[in-house]
Chain A
Amino acid sequence: MNRKAWRNVRLTMKSLTITIFTLAILFIFLSPFAFMVFTSLKTQDQISIIGAPIWPARPAIYENEETGQTLEMFTVPMSECEGSDGERGNQNLAIIRKGLRESTFIDPDELERGEFICAVSWRNLKRPWQFSPTWDNYKRAWESIPGTFPRVIGNTTFYALSTLVGTLISCTLVAYGFSRFRFPGRDFLFVVLISTIFLPAFVTVIPTYTFFQRIGWVGTWLPLIVPAYFANAYNVFLIRQYFMTLPRELDEAAMIDGANPWQILWLVIIPQSYPVLLAVTVFHIVFAWNDFFGPLIYLSTARQHWPISVALQTFNGIYGQQPQLIQAGSLMAMIAPLILFVLAQRFFVQGIVITGVEK
């Protein structure tokens, strides 16, 4: 084997190891997600059977064709049954009468044997389970969510996108101001900016609500959307950090070529900043998608505008919680941000490649 081929093998091995390693971590990482999916496919019935498998299933049922009677099936150790004559092994039997420590069964495969008693506790018996996902939860979540599902998702999309644009533009501008210009008081202002997130958000909610109520914005989208156009500490800080890592040589070259600060931002800085803009885009969409308290208080009289985060909460009522509907609804709600995430990745990765060529 020549050296080149040997190197290829080593590279493949390396990539295989690392990929398998990552897959293993991912497997653990996604278990809560599997929990969601499985729960969304279960009936309330299955959720409450002790010892039920974690995957969606229903206990097997025996239906007597003559009487039309349906009986639950259990896996019974035959040695515990009367007339077993040293029979060994387990068999799936249908239960006729449940008792504490002995129950009456029939054998569906051997009906002529008739009813017989086994000295087993039926609660402790395993049941033959049949894989049986219930898609009905998705249908019910889709239909019974307040408003209709497409409308709720539409509201959420509108909220996410209309605030995304404002966030991206305003935060980029402000971060540029904080990272590329030096002037007295700049760092002071920056600490003021950061300090706006030091008070827990719920502490300022009453005066904020009062303010928006006085100017007549409560019950509309405005208190949720307009502030997004005036930058926020989280994203400005992040973008600023990124801008600060970009070397100044290109700025200076552009400046010598006669570019003004706007042109430098647009032509030099932004093209180098796709990864961070991707991050901000994704954060913001996820934030808006799951933002709960803001839409709740500002849109409480305007149910037709409810986003998904608020609408889903109605499955979590005071007396009736419906985890399977919550999970089904949540999974459907996650599809859009996931697609956006994947698309955004493609968009920005392409961006990087293209800039690379231009450079």
Chain B
Amino acid sequence: MLDQLNRSAFRLPSLRTFRSLSPLSRREMRVGLIFLTPWIIGFLAFTLLPIIASLVFSFMDMRITDGILNAPQFVGLDNYQRLFSDPQIWTWSSGTRGSLWITLRFGLFALPVGILAPLGLAILLNNPNLKGTMAFRSLFYMPYIIPFVAAIFLWGGMLNPESGWINRALVSLGIPKESTPNWANDINWVYPTYVIMGIWGIGNAMLIMLSGLQSVPTELYDAAKVDGANSWQSFRNVTFPMISPVIFYNVTLSMVGLFQYFLVPLVVNNGTGRPGGATMFYNLYLYRTFFTFQNMSYGSAMAWLLFVLILIVTLFLFGTARYWVYYAGESRS
């Protein structure tokens, strides 16, 4: 399926292809490109150079540590050599896994939750029988607005094994204090804890899902009803196809976000990887290399590996899209 994708649109437009177009297509291309200009200008002016610079860094020894920065050197593939033999990234023995596997494992576990929870909530909040939808929407969105520095203390207060609200609630439900979870300090609980924290921040994804749901024309539901569809069938045949583009968006961005997951383990577990190295996510290790260890060059090499991995998964996702994402605007043959 990938080569199909390549053939259709992934070729760079050359002058030759442009000439081979019909006048109408040429016009379409010209107008289309005009609409893209804001991004193209911005990309060339602000984005491209830093990206190239980070690629160049990855072939250098550029560290602030010990004054190496004052005389940066080209070191060829040294950083990449280290990258592909770094046990912190690749270790696959039992016990502490490498950062890459930690990231992938958590991602496979968190991605479905990150899609289904906001979808379910959006469907609930879009229900015509629900009273006060506006208020509900605002309130469910609210946790997402909480400033970061406040959230740090907040999660400390909620999850603390000694006196956190969650464990207090469990104790008051009759669970003995000794057997309440240690949450972020327990190797078995730490990933569920992160997922729970993530659910609190689904306001954004919920809103996207809602905007998708609101765009489904009611005539389609009426038609499905006339055809005798039950609610699951009408979800399956009407709602899902109609909102599949926004689901696709959420899946893609969640995937990127999970590959780049680092802020929560950095703050909640001090970025030390505890318990037992289980939270040393790839991007956290990258962040620490980059800023805490001030090794910008090795950090850049790590970042480019991440770039390639995300690119591969993204292309794969885009390849699958034609089997399950329905674009009404593309239905013209």
Answer whether A and B touch in the complex at a CB cut-off of 8 Å.
yes
Confirm or deny: A145 has a beta carbon within 8 angstroms of a beta carbon on chain B.
no
Confirm or deny: A319 has a beta carbon within 8 angstroms of a beta carbon on chain B.
no
| Contacts known (A182-B28, A198-B307); A203 close to B211, Cβ less than 8 A | no
Contact A203 B141 (CB under 8 A): no
Confirm or deny: A193 has a beta carbon within 8 angstroms of a beta carbon on chain B.
yes
| Contacts known (A22-B125, A204-B53); A191 close to B314, Cβ less than 8 A | yes
Minimum distance in angstroms from B166 CB to a CB of chain A: 9
Contact with A along B40-53 (1 / 0, CB 8 A): 01110111011101
| Contacts known (A19-B130, A206-B296); A179 close to B154, Cβ less than 8 A | no
Q: Which of A10-39 contact B (CB under 8 A)?
A: 11, 14-15, 18-19, 21-22, 25-26, 29-33, 35-36, 39
Complex Cα–Cα for A326 and B137 (A): 26
Q: Which of A242-278 contact B (CB under 8 A)?
A: 242-248, 261, 272, 275-276, 278
Complex Cα–Cα for A85 and B139 (A): 56
- Determine the chain B residues whose CB is within 8 A of the CB of A191 once the complex forms: 10, 311, 314-315, 318
Contact A352 B214 (CB under 8 A): yes
Confirm or deny: B32 has a beta carbon within 8 angstroms of a beta carbon on chain A.
yes
Contact with B along A195-215 (1 / 0, CB 8 A): 111111011111110110000
> Which among B11-19, B230-238, B269-277 touches the partner chain?
B11-19
Minimum distance in angstroms from A20 CB to a CB of chain B: 10
Contact B32 A181 (CB under 8 A): yes
- Determine the chain A residues whose CB is within 8 A of the CB of B124 once the complex forms: 18, 21-22, 25
- Determine the chain B residues whose CB is within 8 A of the CB of A354 once the complex forms: none
- Determine the chain B residues whose CB is within 8 A of the CB of A189 once the complex forms: 36
Complex Cα–Cα for A260 and B124 (A): 40
User: From B197, which residue of chain A is reached at the shortest CB distance?
Assistant: A32
Complex Cα–Cα for A35 and B159 (A): 12
> Which among A115-123, A126-134, A329-337 touches the partner chain?
A329-337
Confirm or deny: A338 has a beta carbon within 8 angstroms of a beta carbon on chain B.
yes
Contact with A along B188-212 (1 / 0, CB 8 A): 0000000000001000100110111
Complex Cα–Cα for A237 and B318 (A): 13
Q: Which of B255-307 contact A (CB under 8 A)?
A: 256, 260, 262, 283, 286-287, 290-291, 296, 299-300, 303-304, 306-307
Contact A15 B129 (CB under 8 A): yes
Contact A199 B306 (CB under 8 A): yes
Contact B129 A177 (CB under 8 A): no
| Contacts known (A176-B35, A242-B215, A326-B150); A29 close to B200, Cβ less than 8 A | yes
Minimum distance in angstroms from A147 CB to a CB of chain B: 16
| Contacts known (A36-B154, A245-B242); A183 close to B331, Cβ less than 8 A | no
| Contacts known (A29-B200, A231-B38, A242-B212); A184 close to B9, Cβ less than 8 A | yes
Minimum distance in angstroms from A188 CB to a CB of chain B: 5
Contact with B along A149-184 (1 / 0, CB 8 A): 000000000000000000000100110111111111
- Determine the chain A residues whose CB is within 8 A of the CB of B173 once the complex forms: none
Confirm or deny: A345 has a beta carbon within 8 angstroms of a beta carbon on chain B.
yes
Contact B12 A18 (CB under 8 A): no
B positions within 8 Å CB-CB of A: 5, 8-13, 17-18, 21, 25, 28-29, 31-36, 38-39, 41-43, 45-47, 49-51, 53-54, 121, 124-125, 127, 129-132, 134, 136-155, 157-158, 163, 165, 168, 200, 204, 207-208, 210-212, 214-215, 242, 245-246, 248-249, 252-253, 256, 260, 262, 283, 286-287, 290-291, 296, 299-300, 303-304, 306-307, 310-311, 314-315, 318, 326-332
Subset of 30 A-B contacts with CB under 8 Å: A18-B124, A22-B125, A26-B140, A30-B143, A32-B155, A35-B158, A177-B32, A178-B32, A180-B32, A180-B329, A187-B10, A191-B311, A197-B256, A198-B311, A203-B54, A203-B299, A203-B300, A204-B51, A241-B249, A244-B327, A248-B331, A248-B332, A275-B211, A275-B212, A282-B141, A290-B147, A326-B150, A333-B147, A334-B147, A349-B134
User: 6 closest pairs, A vs B, by CB?
Assistant: A230-B42, A177-B35, A181-B32, A187-B9, A185-B13, A183-B29
Given contacts A26-B139, A229-B42, 14 further A-B contacts (CB under 8 A): A31-B158, A36-B146, A177-B35, A178-B36, A185-B17, A200-B286, A202-B290, A211-B46, A247-B328, A290-B148, A312-B149, A316-B149, A323-B157, A345-B134
